[in-house]
A = this chain, B = another copy of it.
Amino acid sequence: MKLATYKDGSRDGQLVVVSRALTQAHYATHVANRLQQVLDDWNFLSPQVQDIYDALNAGRARHAFAFEPDRCMAPLPRAYQWADGSAYINHVELVRKARGAEVPETFYTDPLMYQGGSDDFIGPTDPIVCVSEDFGIDFEAEVAVVTGDIPMGCNAERALDGIRLVLLANDVSLRNLIPAELAKGFGFVQSKPATAFSPVAITPDELGDAWSKGRVHLSLHCTWNGRRVGMCEAGPEMTFHFGQLTAHLAKTRNVRAGSVIGSGTVSNRGVEKKGQMHWPNGYSCIAEKRAMEMLQDGQPSTEFMKYGDTIRIEMKNAAGQSLFGAIEQTVAAPGAQA
C-alpha cells in the first residue's frame, strides 16, 4: 500500500491512503489519523489500512479524491529517529579519492552511519530554506525505510523483517560546514538541515521483484534545474542492505517503531574508457560531481545550489510508473515566498 500525510495545519497532519497509480486518495480517519499510530500498532491497524487501499485501487472507495502531492508533508512529518547510513561505498571512495584520502578497510565491513535530526522533516515540495548560499547547499538523493520495533542485538535478517515502508529522501547537506564538523568527530549537527521525503511511503510488496534482499533494484532519477543529472542504480552497488544498516543501529539499543533509516547517497562506480574515468549514470549529489571533476580535471567546476535552484528526485518501476511521487524542491532564503 501507499501512504501519505496531508497538511492540515497540525504538526502531524492527516494520514491518507493513496492509490497505486498515485491518482486517488482517501482519508484513513476511521482507522488512524497519523502514520505513527499505524506503525505503533502495525499488526492490528495495517490490515485495515490495506482494506482502504484495496477499495481505492478497485474504484470502490466511497470518498476518494484526487491526490495532490503538493499538499503533502513528509509521510512522517516528525519521527522519533532518523539514522542515515552511507551504504554506497562508491560515494565514499569517490569523495575521499578526490581529496587524496584513503578509505579505511573497515568501511567495507562496518557501515558508516550518522544520527540526524527528526523533529522537523519537510514535505516533498517544501522549499529548502537556507540562511546563506555560502554554506554549500547540496541535494542528496537517497532511498530510506521506516521500521517497526527492532530488538537490541538482532541480526540483519531479523532486522530486514522489521522494515515496514520504503520511501525517497533528499538529505540536504551544507557542504562547506561539513569539514569542521567532521573534524570534531561528533557527527553532523549544523551541516545537515531538515530532510525532505517523497510524497508517499510504500510497503515493500509494492516494489515486486525490485525489492530483493533489502535493496531496491531500480534507478533513482535526479533532475537539477530541469536537467537530468543522475540515474544511478540503487540495487547492485549498495554495499550494506537495509537489514544490515538497521542491525548496525540496533547493536546496543532497541530501535522503536517509526525509525527512519537512510541509504546515504545512491552512487554508481565509474568506468574507464581510453584512460579516462566516466560516470555514465551521473550523480545523486553535487559533491560527487565535483569529485569527478577533481579526478578528471584536477579541480571542481560545478558550483553548489543557489537560491532559486530546483531539484527533482523520483524513482519509476519497470513500466515507467512513478512509485513514490517526486520530491520537487526549490532553494530559498528565509522568509522568501515558496
> Which chain A residues have a beta carbon within 8 Å of chain B's beta carbons?
11, 40, 78-81, 83, 86, 104, 106, 110, 112-120, 129-131, 135, 152-153, 174, 177, 180, 182-191, 193-194, 248-249, 251-259, 334
A336 → B minimal CB distance (Å): 13
This chain: how many copies in the complex? 2
Which residues of chain B have C-beta atoms less than 8 A from A79's C-beta?
80
Which residues of chain B have C-beta atoms less than 8 A from A117's C-beta?
81, 83, 115, 253
Closest to A130 in B: B252
Which residues of chain B have C-beta atoms less than 8 A from A131's C-beta?
152-153, 251-252
Q: Can you add 11 more A-B contacts, CB < 8 Å, to A11-B257, A194-B253?
A: A80-B119, A80-B120, A81-B117, A112-B186, A115-B188, A118-B118, A119-B256, A153-B334, A183-B185, A187-B188, A193-B252
A112 to B187, CA, bound (A): 10
A334 to B252, CA, bound (A): 10
Closest to A256 in B: B119
A145 → B minimal CB distance (Å): 14
Contacting A186 at CB < 8 Å: which of B113, B119, B180?
B113
Closest to A186 in B: B114
Which residues of chain B have C-beta atoms less than 8 A from A112's C-beta?
184, 186
Does B120 contact A256, Cβ atoms closer than 8 Å?
yes
A330 → B minimal CB distance (Å): 17
A80-B78, A184-B112, A255-B120 given; A190·B248 CB < 8 A:
yes
A152 to B334, CA, bound (A): 9
A245 → B minimal CB distance (Å): 10
A180 to B183, CA, bound (A): 15
A114-B186, A334-B152 given; A81·B119 CB < 8 A:
yes
A79-B80, A184-B112 given; A248·B119 CB < 8 A:
no
Does A187 contact B115, Cβ atoms closer than 8 Å?
yes
Does B190 contact A187, Cβ atoms closer than 8 Å?
no
A162 to B255, CA, bound (A): 29
Which residues of chain B have C-beta atoms less than 8 A from A104's C-beta?
183
A118 to B253, CA, bound (A): 11
Contacting A118 at CB < 8 Å: which of B80, B86, B152, B180?
B80
Closest to A12 in B: B40
Contacting A253 at CB < 8 Å: which of B153, B193, B249?
B193
Which residues of chain B have C-beta atoms less than 8 A from A186's C-beta?
86, 112-114, 187-188
A45 → B minimal CB distance (Å): 14
List 15 A-B pairs, Cβ < 8 Å.
A11-B257, A83-B189, A113-B186, A115-B117, A119-B258, A120-B255, A129-B152, A131-B152, A131-B153, A131-B252, A182-B185, A186-B188, A190-B251, A193-B252, A193-B253
A187 to B180, CA, bound (A): 13
Interface centre among A81, A183, A188, A252 (most CB of B within 10 A): A252
Question: What 7 pairs between A and B have smallest CB-CB spacing?
Answer: A187-B187, A80-B119, A119-B256, A81-B119, A114-B186, A193-B253, A115-B115
A305 → B minimal CB distance (Å): 14
Does A253 contact B120, Cβ atoms closer than 8 Å?
yes
A74 → B minimal CB distance (Å): 12
A194 to B253, CA, bound (A): 6
